[in-house]
Chain A
Amino acid sequence: MPTITIDGVAHEFEAKQALLQFCLDRGIEVPHFCYHPAMSVPANCRQCLVEVGMTEVDRETRQVKFGEDGKPIVRFLPKLQTSCSQEIADGMVVRTHRTSDLVARAQKDTLELLLINHPLDCPICDQAGHCPLQIQAYKYGPEGSRFEFEKTHKPKRIELGPRVMLDGERCINCTRCVRFTGEVSKSHQLTIIERGVRNYPMTPPGVVFDEPYSMNVIDICPVGALTSVDFRFKARVWEMSKTASITVSNAKGSNCWYWVKDNRVLKVTPRDNEQVNRYWLPDEDRLDYERFNDGRLSGPVVDGRPSSWDAAYAAAAEVLGSVEPASILFLGSAHASVEDNWLLSRLATHLGAPAPVYIPHVDPGHGDGWLRTDDRTPNARGCEALGILPIDADSVRKRLSSGAVKAVYVLEEDPIASGVFSADDLGSAPVIVHAWHTDNRTLAAAKVGLPAAMVVETIGTFVNEDGRAQRVRPAKAIKGVNRTLMMEVGKSRHDLHGTPFDRWYDETNLVDCQPGWVSLPAVAARCGLELSYRGPKDILAEIAGSNEAFRGVSYEAMGESGVRLQETAQTA
């Protein structure tokens, strides 16, 4: 098999690829800035230089030539090569900064040069703490600077668009942002203007950088030049924890990190998943987080008055027990997890009520064939795989007006606000609603309101538009003690720096709510159905054991990047 030797270690390879990516894939760190695996390779930062040589081969015999010392003769190229643009080849010999002083020196030089005009903004820069320039300067850079002149000055607050702000002085001209708009999003809304050391990215005349994916440039910028208008200066990176999860503003289930400080979500960034969203996230997903923090319904409500959880569960059970089971309308939810919808189905079955249905939220034309979808819910596909089918508003209203519905049980929805029915349509039928927010209009008309944990506070499974089942994990804590949740928080929060700035356990920011997998069994128990699980993991195991579509789906199988449902389910 073809072999390449890097720092004296031989590596076999099958397909040709770029040397830098080859090294990164094998955990061999090579410092770099401009290279990004999803974009073209301009080789402009010059940080990834390495020594490249070829083993000499006899032209006729095709045999490797050996020197007097018995070692193969290697002919090194006279100039250092950029590993990002260098294709690997059989017999290639590479020396990185680990084995070559020349390379170490070149990397140090590049960093010295990058820093001569870079402002000393680290103490106030959003990127500080996870800045490739800062990290590499510490690791590979020179100790001081020999530059004794005024740094170049450029505009420091350029609003490229409504969501992205540029600090021209911090830019190291890697062109990643420009390449993103040219090659990935294809909006062509950015270009580099000026020349030489005065360069910085800018929109062409008359253009505003407002494309629906604009904020991706913030993550790929290797320095703090591009900042989020929404997030900038809100928190230092070491004050936040981050949790791997998925976004829920559409049916793509893009993989993301939720960044939390003081038990509030402050930003959402993409998490690499080659199968779903690669490195990207639409702006709508990134800006969908304030509802996790504010306006939350905290503590149960019965007849419009605060209530204890016990009293609320009892009131819900009483409603369900007081009407003909066939007259109960169970509304599942494409906003809620597979597990919670399943528990709702079990409750309905136990009572002998008709199977739950769900209200679709489809916004035709919203989808773009990429990471935004017409469907504005994260789990319609999961509901359908469970046999919870969509229902249109007309059918619901017809059933209500016919008097056939005597009680309504709503899981994480606001059917009044969605125009499915009005308070008048309900007549005297009592409503039980699992609600997130105080402004839930169905809550105002409800007999019982059970505050629900949101996607950033629970454990569960969501199935995206393409049939991929993915896990969500708790990024922030809720009020009360739930050992399953606490353990999961402990496991999934990447407390990067463990500093005392993050008061995530602070009582003031804890919402008194419960995940469906806690509140639904509590209601069911009072209806005579014992649903005892240690947690959502067991619930999913039960589903996987009884529903063909979910066969083989488990938390282990989903891991970090999810699994696809059985093919049979996809065609169903």
Chain B
Amino acid sequence: MSVSNGSVSKAGDWRSYQRVLLPPVKDLHKLEVYEQHGGYASLRKALTDPAWTPQAVTEEVKKSGLKGRGGAGFPTGLKWTFMPPVNPDVPRFLCCNGDESEPGTFKDRQLMEYNPHLVFEGMILASYAMSVKTSYLYVRGEYADWISHMERELEKLYAKGYVGKNIMGTGFSTDLVIHKGAGAYICGEESSLMESLEGKRAYPRSKPPFPAQRGIWGYPTTINNVETLACVPLILEKGGDWYAKIGAEKHPGPVLYGISGHVNRPGVYEYPTGMLISDLIYEVCGGIRGGKKLKALVPGGSSTPVLRADMIDGVTMDADGLRAAGSMMGTAGMLVLDEDTDMVSFLRRITHFYHHESCGQCTPCREGTGWLENIVTRIDEGEGNLRDLDLLLDLCSQMEGRTVCALADAAAWPVRYTVERFRSEFEARCRPSLVSVPETAALPA
């Protein structure tokens, strides 16, 4: 057990942790191999054992404490109960979100490559739990190779009668469709994903109505992340209690940490939630490249607030731990930045991304993302003024919480927190001011 500054890892004896999402089994992506290792037993159990009614499956997921792995960390079982009561005349849908486009996030791809059947089985189980007759696996267009790879396996699954009509002869039928996205970050936002699925321009929808009320084609829909659904067969196999005991108590389960940046061994690592950040960097990833010092960490994909090295002592990777530290778990896609990192140009790259990816629907996001990039670029090029820093923060306030979807927040947070937490570095980059700095550059009221 690692101890740092008196804080304790919530991941227990993580060194002896046995991987369940990505177990070390050769060719596990093949249906035959997956079945040999107990694959589709959970599905068979749910469909054949009368005790496993759809409600019972949902209850088990609730009991597990599973929280969505798509970024917002919403309790999965609770989300499923938002679906209205079954009405045979009204279709309902499930959508598995494999759009994975947040910079620093690359863990769903790993599941789709090495353990696609766990995802399929999770989708079919969730379809059963919510009485869904069609589920979609929406995969980002750039993952074309992974799509064809999964399509081959899905074909086998249909041939075997594990999906489609009368699954395993139990009378339960549900279809699974793999849909290729057309290449935009915004397609990962659940309501724009549905528009995209319907063949429309991927503009997020104004909510309410929420997907469970009006989703794909206007019908009740649930959207879950790839990793979220991959947990479901495990929960059914080993029990919700088992799952709830893994990692952090209030945010349990195995997690795929996608660690990139200046570490010796970047990659996707499966460990329980609640790992100490220091353990992940120094133990799991073999420390900072070239023996350098840590400067900053973005814990959960590019939109989560950056933490300074001095802020991560004793901080664990779970919702509570990161909230206390001043950030968020997001997708657990960790960006590790060493002491040589230029925070201004780091932020410049991030603002460029969000500027490029704003769908352009809402005024604050469409206009604000570009303006943020303009200003950060100017600072990076040594042409910025000190007042630009306050302007940046003010612009963030103009965007946060005022748009149709959360992309505007995702764009504003990195700016807000990078400027606030590395202010002196930004100030040093600005043009020297000969007069005293004005208090703020806020708009006249």
Contact = CB atoms under 8 A, between A and B. Distances in A.
**Most chain B beta-carbon neighbours within 10 Å: one of A44, A78, A108, A110:** A44
B363 interface: yes
Interface string B364-388: 1011111100100010000000000
B357 interface: yes
Interface of A: 41-47, 49, 78-80, 82, 85, 101, 105-106, 108-110, 112-114, 116-117, 142-143, 146-147, 149, 152, 172-173, 175, 191-192, 194-199
| Nearest 6 interchain pairs by C-beta | A113-B367, A43-B206, A199-B360, A196-B358, A196-B360, A109-B398
Nearest to B391: A146
A112 B441 CA distance: 14
A195 B357 contact: yes
Contacts of B401: 78-80
A197 B360 contact: yes
A44 B402 CA distance: 10
Nearest to B207: A85
B403 interface: yes
B178 interface: no
Contacts of B374: 149
B443 A112 contact: yes
Given A113-B364, A194-B360, A43 B370 contact: no
15 contacts: A42-B404, A44-B203, A45-B363, A49-B402, A80-B401, A106-B402, A110-B402, A112-B443, A113-B366, A146-B391, A149-B378, A192-B360, A196-B356, A196-B358, A198-B360
A46 B360 contact: no
A208 B401 CA distance: 39
B201 interface: yes
Contacts of A85: 206
A280 to B, nearest CB: 24
Given A43-B404, A85-B206, A197 B367 contact: yes
Given A44-B362, A85-B206, A109-B402, 20 more contacts: A45-B362, A46-B364, A49-B402, A79-B401, A80-B402, A109-B364, A109-B443, A110-B363, A113-B366, A113-B398, A117-B370, A142-B444, A146-B441, A149-B378, A173-B360, A175-B361, A194-B360, A195-B356, A197-B370, A199-B366
Contact of A113 (B368, B378, B445): B368
Nearest to B400: A79
B244 interface: no
Contacts of A196: 355-360, 366, 369-370
A195 B445 CA distance: 32
Contact of B363 (A46, A78, A142, A194): A46
A96 B367 CA distance: 24
Contacts of A194: 360
A106 B400 CA distance: 11
A116 B366 contact: no
Contacts of B362: 44-46
Contacts of A149: 371, 374, 378
A366 B374 CA distance: 54
B393 interface: no
Contact of A110 (B203, B364, B441): B364
A78 B398 CA distance: 15
Contact of B366 (A106, A143, A197): A197
A173 to B, nearest CB: 6
Given A142-B444, A197-B360, A82 B206 contact: yes
A108 B402 CA distance: 13
B207 to A, nearest CB: 9
Given A116-B371, A146-B391, A46 B402 contact: yes
Contacts of B355: 196-197
A114 B441 contact: no
Contacts of A116: 367, 371
B443 A142 contact: yes
Task: Specify the main secondary structure of chain A where it touches its partner.
Answer: loop
B184 interface: yes
**Most chain A beta-carbon neighbours within 10 Å: one of B358, B371, B378:** B371
Nearest to A141: B443
Contacts of A110: 363-364, 398, 402
B138 to A, nearest CB: 18
B219 to A, nearest CB: 17
B371 A42 contact: no
A146 B395 CA distance: 10
A143 B442 CA distance: 12
A24 to B, nearest CB: 19
Contact of A197 (B184, B206, B358): B358
B363 A113 contact: yes
B363 A44 contact: yes
Contacts of B367: 113-114, 116-117, 197
A114 B360 contact: no
B371 A147 contact: yes
Nearest to A192: B201
Interface in B394-445: 398, 401-404, 441, 443-445
Contacts of B356: 195-196
A192 B201 CA distance: 8
Contacts of B402: 46, 49, 79-80, 106, 109-110
A113 B399 CA distance: 10
B404 A152 contact: no
B363 A195 contact: no
B323 to A, nearest CB: 16
B358 A44 contact: no
A80 B206 CA distance: 14
Contacts of B403: 46
A114 B363 contact: yes
A529 to B, nearest CB: 66
Nearest to A195: B360
A93 to B, nearest CB: 19
Contact of A173 (B206, B357, B366, B398): B366
A196 to B, nearest CB: 4
A143 to B, nearest CB: 6
A80 B403 CA distance: 10
A43 B404 CA distance: 7
Nearest to A116: B367
Interface in B6-44: none
B408 to A, nearest CB: 9
A420 to B, nearest CB: 52
A198 B355 CA distance: 10
B406 to A, nearest CB: 11
Nearest to A101: B445
A333 to B, nearest CB: 50
B88 to A, nearest CB: 28
A43 B445 CA distance: 25
Nearest to B370: A197
A105 to B, nearest CB: 8
B184 to A, nearest CB: 7
Contacts of A195: 184, 356-360
Contacts of A146: 391, 441, 443
Contacts of A46: 362-364, 402-403
Given A79-B401, A106-B402, A42 B361 contact: yes
A334 to B, nearest CB: 45
Contacts of B184: 195
Contacts of A143: 444
**Most chain A beta-carbon neighbours within 10 Å: one of B366, B398, B445:** B366
B381 to A, nearest CB: 12
**Most chain B beta-carbon neighbours within 10 Å: one of A85, A195, A198:** A195
A109 B371 CA distance: 13
Contacts of A47: 363
Given A109-B398, A195-B357, A195-B360, A44 B404 contact: yes
A540 B314 CA distance: 90
B183 to A, nearest CB: 10
A111 to B, nearest CB: 9
B113 to A, nearest CB: 28
Nearest to A79: B401
B206 A108 contact: no
